[in-house]
Structure 1
Amino acid sequence: MAEGAGAKDLASGMGGNINKTEMLSAVEQYEKYHMYYGGDDETRKANYTDMVNKYYDLSTSFYEFGWGESFHFANRWKGESLRESIKRHEHFLALQLCLKPGMKVLDVGCGIGGPLREISRFSCSSVTGLNNNAYQIARGTELNRLCGLEKTCGLVKGDFMKMPFANDSFDAIYAIEATCHAPDAVGCYKEIKRVLKPGQLFAAYEWCMTGSFDPKNEEHQKIKAEIELGDGLPDIRTTSQCLEALKYAGFEVLFEEDLALSSPVPWYLPLDTSHFSLSSFRLTSLGRFLTRNMVKIFELLRIAPEGSQRVSAFLEKAAEGLVNGGRKEIFTPMYFFLARKPLSEN
């Protein structure tokens, strides 16, 4: 797997499927959904499809350039690189789901397919990725082909609130930091339960506000708003709300825990500008400075479309919110749960 897109890929991928002449307008429309620009939770929930699609059209090339093909965090051991921790995080999920060769697995909100390729290779299972963003599907399909995994890995366009699959289609389902984009957790989990075979497992890493989050605290609200703006989220749920939604959807919860609490190395360390790492250089303060100026030059030379600098800016603002949320322990990107669909409905 490649460690991430190069500068040429970053420039060519900016804006995703958005017409390059319309990118600035798309940035402005996206920003207006959020609190900083007069938006609110209900507006974002009502327009989640448009908001999330615009977000990933605008941000995917930046993600791949800075982070690699797997767009998620991981708990991390001392001496372990970011890339190693991400792989182990994905392997842990496969092991919890007891994946075996030949199983038919669904990745809900698969991004460009980094995790599904790793999990397919690790478990020898067939993994289908569900994604509602056309640019990410095209990019993920090409990466599957380049890896020789087009026979065991596929990407399907669809909304996880109304999946294009028959009842009881999959042997296992997982979601990695993806269903936080759902406007309604219960509805999303019910749809996942519908396409999962009876008695089989669903596991996820969820983005959540923790029990330490105080909705009356202005600083906490500012951090939450920064994360929502920079990460395309309608409204970040608490861990308790997430758990309640899972149970209400009809799942039997086997295990749940905020894995961030047991991580020897802070999960947000790659985004912390006071930390320097050669293995994740593009995420460091110097790496971000160089990327910021490279994007500025690309935009001035019209290699990158107008508005690219603004996308880079709100992603940096999100990074600040994530680091502050992690330090204060009011936010986690790895609330993990393992749940089972009952063999029969009561």
Structure 2
Amino acid sequence: MTRTAAVATLPTPVQDPELSSFLLRLRKKNTDVTSHKDTVDSYTNYWDSDRKNIKDTEDSVAERRSNSDKLTNHFYDLVTDFYEYGWGTSFHFARMFRDQSFKQSVAQHEDFLALKLGLKPGMECIDVGCGVGGPLREIAKFSGAFVTGLNNNSYQVDRCRHLANELGLSSLCKAVKGDFQNMPFPSNSLDAAYAIEATCHAARLENVYGEIFRVLKPGAQFACYEWLTTDKYDDKDPVQKRIIHDVEEGNSIAKLYSIPECLAALRSVGFEVIEYNDFADPNSPLADAQEPWYLPLQGKFTFNMEQLHRWRMTPLGRWMTDKMVFSLETLRLAPPGTRKVSSLLNLAADALVKSGEQHLFTPMFFFLVRKPATASAAPAAAGYSRIDAVGH
């Protein structure tokens, strides 16, 4: 069974990148209720069979891989406004040191990549899967390098451009619409690349890693925080499989790779692995100095300004948001399907907390890799080809 043709012709919901209010954006979408509802139904239909039979998901995974670009595009049409409302403009987790605010932790997480890549004025870097550009703008300010954000979602690209203009950063960064598995950049043209919790949306990690390898100059480096399963995850355990499947469904991921599979994918396209580390590992040397990465979603009910600042992320905040959008949809002030989107994100949040508590999954497997300086040092590099077959 396939839904490719139906997805390909699906209209994009009406959205305005210049609107700053979550409620105003819902109101805008409500001017075109049919396309919004169709997009919601299209996305949720992709996961129906897995909900009925979690033991055998291979056919569903194969279909999602073949349509990963469209699937993720529809996902971000639906969730971008919710993400900004609840999380901010940097759509990622971070190491949360006990003496830092959430905002400081997020900025430090981004600046760490700039330091590892040695970014400086005069360098040209690509943000692979840039979202609405929170990390892009932070890294451009921190390093002075010119950063180009690549994103296949039109709404997020427009939102990224608007925010850069609004903050006076257009001279240091830009956003380009394009598929990160088929990048619109010349080979050997960029000084550095990074990705923050974005390449997991690729049909295959080899596809996006191969394209990053192609566009980097010889000797250039790529740094990333990747979403991966850990060695604690047992695919044969139905409870664990359901948790990870809910992470995938709630975040538009066809299939999560494991840590060994990720490293193998990097090497298969020609990269030299310089260093790697799971920053979410509860046994890491700095673990005692940090709060768990999933704490904002889990909630910590203490009365201080930091906790109040991120109340929307907590179970109570998400419950209140869900009830708000239910009421708005019932009163026809929000488009049909808005409640489904809220429920989808709550599913994702609950699964992320469960996966984090058991360390079945990491959203911040950090690695730094390099494209060899000479072609002879990378025998696999020129031989990379896009992978579309089933299975890792």
TM-score (norm 1): 0.95
Query: Residues 200-219 of structure 1 correspond to what in structure 2 (within 5 A)?
Result: 200-219=220-239
Q: Which residue of 1 aligns with 2:388?
A: none
Q: Work out which of the two has the higher radius of gyration on C-alpha atoms and give 1 or 2.
A: 2
Query: Residues 308-323 of structure 1 correspond to what in structure 2 (within 5 A)?
Result: 308-323=338-353
Q: Which residue of 1 aligns with 2:251?
A: 231
Q: Which residue of 1 aligns with 2:86?
A: 66
Structure 1's unaligned 5+ residue stretches are none
- The answer to whether the 8 Å contact 1:175/1:203 transfers is yes
Cα deviations by residue, 1:194-247 (Å, 9 ceiling, x for unpaired): 000110110000000001110100111001110111101110110110011001
Deviation at 1:81, TM superposition (A): 1.5
Q: Which residue of 2 aligns with 1:46?
A: 66
Q: Which residue of 1 aligns with 2:12?
A: none
**CA distance in structure 1 between the partners assigned to 2:186 and 2:226 by the alignment:** 25
Q: Structure 1 residues 296, 216: CA separation in 2 closer, same or farther (over 3 Å shift)?
A: same
Q: Which residue of 1 aligns with 2:276?
A: 256
Residue 35 of structure 2 aligns with an amino acid whose one-letter code is: E
Deviation at 1:344, TM superposition (A): 1.4
**CA distance in structure 2 between the partners assigned to 1:230 and 1:45 by the alignment:** 16
Q: Which residue of 1 aligns with 2:121?
A: 101
**CA distance in structure 2 between the partners assigned to 1:311 and 1:101 by the alignment:** 41
Q: Which residue of 1 aligns with 2:336?
A: 306
Alignment partner for residue 26 of structure 2, among 11, 29, 36? 11
How many percent of aligned residue pairs carry the same amino acid? Answer: 45
Alignment partner for residue 319 of structure 2, among 283, 289, 303? 289
- The answer to whether the 8 Å contact 1:178/1:206 transfers is yes
Deviation at 1:10, TM superposition (A): 4.8
Alignment partner for residue 269 of structure 1, among 289, 295, 301? 295
**CA distance in structure 1 between the partners assigned to 2:118 and 2:133 by the alignment:** 20
Secondary structure of the structure 1 residue equivalent to 2:336: coil
Query: Residues 22-171 of structure 1 correspond to what in structure 2 (within 5 A)?
Result: 22-34=35-47, 35-36=50-51, 40-171=60-191
Q: Structure 1 residues 186, 107: CA separation in 2 closer, same or farther (over 3 Å shift)?
A: same
Structure 2's unaligned 5+ residue stretches are 1-18, 377-392
Residue 159 of structure 1 aligns with an amino acid whose one-letter code is: D
Q: Structure 1 residues 217, 14: CA separation in 2 closer, same or farther (over 3 Å shift)?
A: farther
Secondary structure of the structure 1 residue equivalent to 2:280: helix
**CA distance in structure 1 between the partners assigned to 2:217 and 2:161 by the alignment:** 26
**CA distance in structure 2 between the partners assigned to 1:132 and 1:37 by the alignment:** 31
Is 2:33 the partner of 1:20? Answer: yes
Cα deviations by residue, 1:94-138 (Å, 9 ceiling, x for unpaired): 000000112101000000000000000000111000000001011
Is 2:246 the partner of 1:189? Answer: no
Residue 47 of structure 1 aligns with an amino acid whose one-letter code is: N
TM-score (norm 2): 0.84
Cα deviations by residue, 1:139-167 (Å, 9 ceiling, x for unpaired): 11110110011121111010011000001
Equivalences, count:
341
**CA distance in structure 1 between the partners assigned to 2:87 and 2:230 by the alignment:** 25
Is 2:367 the partner of 1:337? Answer: yes
Is 2:267 the partner of 1:247? Answer: yes
**CA distance in structure 2 between the partners assigned to 1:5 and 1:45 by the alignment:** 34
- The answer to whether the 8 Å contact 2:22/2:82 transfers is no
Deviation at 1:285, TM superposition (A): 2.4
**Which range moves more in the overlay, 182-191 or 169-178?**
182-191
